[in-house]
Structure 1
Amino acid sequence: MVINKKGRLYNIAGMKIKICSSEFAMFRNLDLFVCEDHSEIMLEMVVKANSKISEPVGFLLINKDVKWVAISEGIYSHSLYFCDEETKTILCRADVNYEWGLAEITYLKNCPQAEGMVAGFLLEIIFRNRIIFNQGVVIHASAVSYKGLGIIFTAPTQTGKSTQAKLWAKHLGAQVLNDDRPVLRLENRRTRVYGTPWSGEKRLFLNKAVELNAIILLEQAKENRLKGLTLSTSCAQILPRCFLPYYDLEIMDKCLKTLGEMLLGVPVYLLECKPDREAVDLVFRAILNRQKYL
């Protein structure tokens, strides 16, 4: 891959990313994460426009909104592309190597829809997979930071993750790190939670990280109750909330080992709750009580 375009550096979840492109307007959502440190770049991408994008040749792994093809020749191992629903024209395509550290994205010239997919869709997929090789995982959750404490709320969609995060912000003045897709990363055998620029429709995120002190699984209920979960129950409940590499057993094993080590050091609770202050206080007291004995 020949890099002959202007480069810009970003630091997302402690991972340095270099993007080479002649056009950076499409990456405005990454502005909070711009950095100047050129050391230890973990993901390098070339982004270019073209008047026509060819269909990759290989084994079709996924045939949904995004097509995912395994490639057997050349420096790339995977190709992902997105087509216009009506014309079937390929709007954008990403080719990546096995460890997701090298990528080339091509998008359709003079097509705003394609430009929007580059940073808001393809780059996120590449990031999710690359972070696995750096002891990280993206999880579907709302993450908050309160006086150095990190808490994530996770559950199926429409259960109340964002509501609980808002309650912490309202009653305790907590900061929302990311309202939809934060990163958990293992660093020196401790887990940190990071904000990322991908946070759903509300675009609520910060470029900040704190140590993770609790994972809260949510269930709606008429009364507020909180209970600690065993490791086996925690794993069974949390895995469906993570963005996992089902396409490759070796990468999946790497991801599961990281998650397993995280869960050995971070308590997991089930919060059956109403959307009120009492639910906030239950979690807060549990975290404070645990901190006293650490």
Structure 2
Amino acid sequence: MTKYCISDLILEIAAPEWTLHDNLKLFSCRHGDPDVCCRVEFKKRPQKPAAGVKIIADTPGTMIYEDKGHIHNLSGDDHDIPSYTVASGDWFSYTMYIDPKFNNPDDDEIVHIVKDGIFASLRGVMIGRLAQKNGVIIHSSTILWQDRGIMFPAPSGTGKSTHAHLWQQLYHTPILDGDAAACRIADGTPVVYGLPWCGTSGEFLNQSAPLGAIVFLQQAEANSIIKLGLQESILRLAARCFLLPWNEGLMHQYLDTVQEIAARTDCYLLNCLPDAAAVELVKKCL
């Protein structure tokens, strides 16, 4: 079994080495009791759930149901990787099933597909487990500035990576993660963590720092910044978190954590152009 320490959670994976994404290597660890155990099996998925189970969601692309305290996610067909997952109700154990036809480490194309599929599914595992550990994953570019993490959440294409790179160019600030970062409440303090899931940016660090500020980005024809009140901060932050909306229990935990992060952090709305002046506006607030 291989262990990884991600956002101070130990993820233990039982899987062939060739199936694990290279981004995970930076988070490898040897010691610590697991917070979540994941297993990968090359096995055919069931065609339908057993009779009498509780259906949570049923769409053309997926079926989610609960059976004996476990959450089953049955995808549309065998071509999905994984095509079937089973998670314990507390998200401590998680099993991925992949069609045996993909068990071919000698085919480079298949290896690439399998690695990406498992890697994406592992993020879902961490989303669920983090929710139970006072944490969320936030869609943002995050920099390290004066020993604090500064998050720039925004929808894809808004310019969050561009803004983070401007800080890097002007002030040589490290980029903690170019696309998503975890945030957990530790002893009453929000702490941000780099993650192996970094989108197309390719930028991530296995580091953490106290959260200094959250700056929501919005494209505009002129630069301006305002400090947000608690209610708007909560709404904007919840919109930028990766969630599992079909799980009512986890949603309550997400929202409690989002509210606590927003209450303990200065949050701003930056209407901006992609220029150095926008950076200077933020810098004056920090």
Rounded Cα–Cα distance in structure 2 between residues aligned with 1:230 and 1:181: 24
Q: What's the offset of the Cα at 1:117?
A: 4.1
- Equivalent position amino acid for 2:94 in 1: A
TM-score, normalised relative to structure 1: 0.86
Match for residue 238 of structure 1? Answer: 237
Deviates more, 1:53-62 or 1:93-102: 53-62
Deviates more, 1:102-111 or 1:165-174: 102-111
Match for residue 215 of structure 1? Answer: 214
Q: CA RMSD in A?
A: 1.9
Whether the aligned pair in 2 keeps the contact of 1:53 and 1:90 (CA below 8 Å) is no
Rounded Cα–Cα distance in structure 2 between residues aligned with 1:199 and 1:124: 11
Deviates more, 1:273-282 or 1:56-65: 56-65
- Equivalent position amino acid for 2:141 in 1: S
Correspondent of 1:100 among 82, 86, 91: 91
TM-score, normalised relative to structure 2: 0.89
Match for residue 105 of structure 2? Answer: none
Closer, same or farther in 2 for the Cα pair 1:90/1:154, shift >3 Å? closer
Partner SS for 1:182? strand
Q: What's the offset of the Cα at 1:61?
A: 1.1
Partner SS for 1:244? coil
CA shift digits 1:112-137 (9 cap, x unpaired): 26513443221111111111011100
Q: Say whether 1:55 aligns with 2:55.
A: no
Partner SS for 2:231? helix
Q: How does 1:274-293 map to 2 (within 5 A)?
A: 274-287=273-286
Q: How does 1:1-294 map to 2 (within 5 A)?
A: 7-39=1-33, 41-50=34-43, 52-57=44-49, 58=53, 59=55, 61=57, 63=59, 65=61, 67-73=62-68, 77-83=70-76, 89=79, 91-92=81-82, 93-111=84-102, 112=110, 115-287=114-286
Whether the aligned pair in 1 keeps the contact of 2:81 and 2:118 (CA below 8 Å) is no
Closer, same or farther in 2 for the Cα pair 1:117/1:80, shift >3 Å? farther
Partner SS for 2:20? helix
Whether the aligned pair in 2 keeps the contact of 1:69 and 1:79 (CA below 8 Å) is yes
CA shift digits 1:247-269 (9 cap, x unpaired): 12222112211111111110000
CA shift digits 1:168-216 (9 cap, x unpaired): 1111111111111211111010001111111112222111111111100
Rounded Cα–Cα distance in structure 2 between residues aligned with 1:145 and 1:68: 40
CA shift digits 1:9-65 (9 cap, x unpaired): 1000110011112334433220000001133x1100111223x33235152515365
Q: What's the offset of the Cα at 1:110?
A: 4.4
- Select the structure with the greater relative contact order (CA < 8 A; seq sep ≥ 6): 2
Q: What's the offset of the Cα at 1:68?
A: 4.0
Closer, same or farther in 2 for the Cα pair 1:56/1:211, shift >3 Å? farther
Gaps spanning 5+ residues in structure 1: where?
A: 1-6, 288-294
Gaps spanning 5+ residues in structure 2: where?
A: 103-109
- Equivalent position amino acid for 1:44 in 2: C
